[in-house]
């Protein structure tokens, strides 16, 4: 299963706005003769391997079943029931908010998978049967959990070289510490120590009652509800001079009009707008919110817009593209996505799939924008920031580097009911640059919510934005 990287209020690496994933173009051992699945026409049945995400799907016409595969394992993942469509494009959904569309590409051995809330499609290739490991009970015990955990990162994580990590040396160091008698607490400590040096906010170990682990880039903070409440109160008291933000979308979006005809839009997440977990419900709430804020009259009188993403825990990239569509009159390149797709070579990826911002069929603001970012701008907050970089018109980034995590995150099952969470994608600029690790830098650097800023009643990034937008 793959998750999008943010929770409803804040980013988490441990519980996120769910989106499914899929993987691997590894050559898998097939089941023995006699276990082959039939090959129904269209995309309503058969077994399909995904290019670049380490999963296989089995379709029987009415149900979709995911299998998470590595070179040493196969563990059953999420399932979904058919929810409409024909043989050429079939939708599946479940009660957890997962919605998939499997679409024919005109070839009997190829198809495409779209996951609501995640831009782009994933390539599917029909295979004769489930891998042989999928027909056997999943292995159990601490040794199997360690081996599958290590193998999952080995086959899917793209950033070992960039982070200076020798993953094989990590295995050599920690594998001797695990045997059949290793306790849950001991195993959790080992797995945590293995991935801690990655300093990757999209990496986590979820170990049930034993605990969970996730960490952000050094020198930054993970967004929390407490942080959000503190910052929100500070902004209203200091920046809005006692005024109140108009709250929308379950409190994730706030808006205020500033002196001089400027607007202030604060977004703390790209999801969690409604109790319903599915993308369609969140998209509908976002549209309603933007229709309320950006009317024909309000967009006409705006002289500048501050978009504050400094505390943003991520969510759905597609919601970010939807928002960006309110700020342009012409389509433009947002970013291109690609996924690691060779288990033995971390430098090989799927073909980059470009994504574009499309103008919304609604009132749009196309004037100057200042985007405020910082280390607690995470995941979909970052992809939205990236989607504004080529925006026609005047757009300036102010503050500090974003967190540096862009990929959808893969949630992988481990023996014993634990999960490993990791990224496997890159988001590219038009020139092929990525910002993983260090994040998107600001064009104008200012401190963001430091102790000194609070102590001296300052908000330097906000003040800089007001000044920059005032110079027309």
Q: What pLDDT digit, counting tens, does each position of 290-326 carry?
A: 999 999 999 999 999 999 999 999 999 999 999 999 9
Task: Tell me which residue has tokens 């079939």.
Answer: 90
Tens of pLDDT, residue by residue over 180-204, are 999 999 999 999 999 999 999 999 9
The pLDDT value recorded for residue 28 is 33
Q: Sort 341 into a burial class: Cβ within 10 Å, 0-12 / 13-18 / 19+.
A: buried
User: To the nearest whole percent, how much of the chain has pLDDT over 90?
Assistant: 85
Q: Read off φ and ψ for residue 389, nearest 5 degrees.
A: -65, -35
Residues 372-384, mean pLDDT to the nearest whole number: 98
More confident call, 4 vs 364? 364
Residue 12's pLDDT band (cuts 50, 70, 90):
very low
pTM: 0.91
Tens of pLDDT, residue by residue over 206-251, are 999 999 999 999 999 999 999 999 999 999 999 999 999 999 999 9
The pLDDT value recorded for residue 435 is 98
The pLDDT value recorded for residue 109 is 94
Question: By mean pLDDT, which of 35-49, 335-349, 429-443 is the weakest?
Answer: 35-49
Residues 101-117, mean pLDDT to the nearest whole number: 94
The pLDDT value recorded for residue 2 is 60
Decide if pLDDT at 32 tops 60: no
Tens of pLDDT, residue by residue over 256-284, are 999 999 999 999 999 999 998 899 999 99
How many CA atoms, within 13 angstroms, populate the side-chain half-sphere of residue 188?
18
Decide if pLDDT at 351 tops 60: yes
Q: Sort 168 into a burial class: Cβ within 10 Å, 0-12 / 13-18 / 19+.
A: exposed
Mean residue pLDDT across the chain: 91
Largest CA distance in the chain: 74
The pLDDT value recorded for residue 42 is 66
The pLDDT value recorded for residue 13 is 36
Residue 86's pLDDT band (cuts 50, 70, 90):
confident
Q: Are the C-beta atoms of 70 and 92 separated by less than 8 Å? A: no
Decide if pLDDT at 23 tops 60: no
Q: Please, what is the end-to-end C-alpha distance for the chain in angstroms?
A: 48
The pLDDT value recorded for residue 414 is 96
Decide if pLDDT at 1 tops 80: no
The pLDDT value recorded for residue 439 is 98
Residue 22's pLDDT band (cuts 50, 70, 90):
very low
Closest-CA residue to 235 (of 222, 260, 254): 254
Decide if pLDDT at 6 tops 60: no
Q: Enumerate the β-bridge partners of residue 63.
A: 81
Residue 61: count of CB within 10 angstroms of its CB = 12
């Amino acid at each position: 299963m793959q998750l999008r990287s943010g929770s409803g209020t804040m980013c988490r690496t441990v519980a996120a706005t769910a989106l499914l994933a899929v993987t691997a173009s590894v050559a898998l051992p097939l089941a023995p003769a006699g276990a082959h699945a039939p090959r129904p026409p269209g995309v309503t049945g058969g077994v399909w391997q995904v290019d670049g995400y380490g999963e296989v799907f089995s379709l029987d016409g009415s149900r979709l079943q995911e299998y998470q595969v590595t070179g040493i394992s196969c563990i059953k993942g999420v399932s979904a029931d058919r929810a409409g469509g024909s043989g050429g494009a079939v939708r599946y959904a479940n009660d957890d908010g997962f919605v998939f569309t499997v679409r024919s590409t005109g070839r009997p051995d190829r198809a495409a998978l779209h996951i609501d809330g995640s831009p782009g499609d994933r390539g599917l290739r029909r295979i004769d049967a489930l891998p042989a490991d999928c027909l056997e009970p999943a292995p159990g015990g601490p040794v199997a959990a360690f081996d599958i955990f290590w193998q999952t990162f080995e086959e899917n994580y793209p950033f070992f070289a960039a982070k200076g990590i020798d993953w094989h040396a990590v295995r050599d160091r920690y594998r001797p510490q695990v045997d059949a008698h290793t306790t849950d607490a001991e195993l959790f400590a080992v797995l945590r120590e293995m991935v801690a040096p990655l300093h990757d906010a999209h990496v986590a170990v979820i170990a049930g009652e034993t605990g969970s682990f996730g960490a952000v880039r050094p020198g930054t903070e993970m967004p929390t509800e407490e942080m959000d409440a503190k910052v929100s109160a500070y902004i209203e008291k200091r920046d809005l001079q006692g005024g109140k933000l108009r709250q929308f979308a379950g409190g994730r979006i706030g808006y205020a009009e500033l002196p001089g005809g400027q607007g202030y839009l604060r977004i703390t997440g790209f999801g969690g707008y409604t109790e319903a977990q599915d993308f369609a419900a969140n998209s509908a709430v976002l549209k309603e919110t933007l229709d309320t804020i950006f009317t024909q009259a309000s967009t006409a009188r705006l002289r500048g817009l501050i978009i504050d993403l400094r505390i943003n825990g991520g969510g759905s990239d597609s919601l970010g593209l939807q928002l960006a569509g309110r700020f342009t009159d012409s389509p433009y390149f947002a970013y291109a996505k690609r996924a690691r797709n060779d288990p033995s070579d971390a430098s090989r990826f799927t073909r980059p799939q470009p994504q574009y911002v499309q103008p919304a069929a609604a009132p749009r603001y196309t004037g100057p924008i200042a985007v405020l970012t910082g280390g607690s701008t995470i995941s979909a907050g970052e992809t939205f920031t990236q989607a504004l970089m080529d925006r026609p018109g005047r757009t300036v980034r102010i503050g500090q580097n974003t967190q540096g995590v862009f990929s959808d995150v893969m949630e992988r099952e481990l023996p014993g009911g634990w999960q490993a969470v990791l990224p496997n994608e890159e988001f590219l600029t038009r020139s092929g640059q990525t910002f993983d690790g260090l994040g998107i830098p600001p064009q104008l650097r200012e401190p963001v919510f430091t102790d000194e800023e609070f102590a001296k009643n300052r908000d330097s990034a906000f003040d800089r934005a007001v000044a920059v937008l005032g110079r027309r």
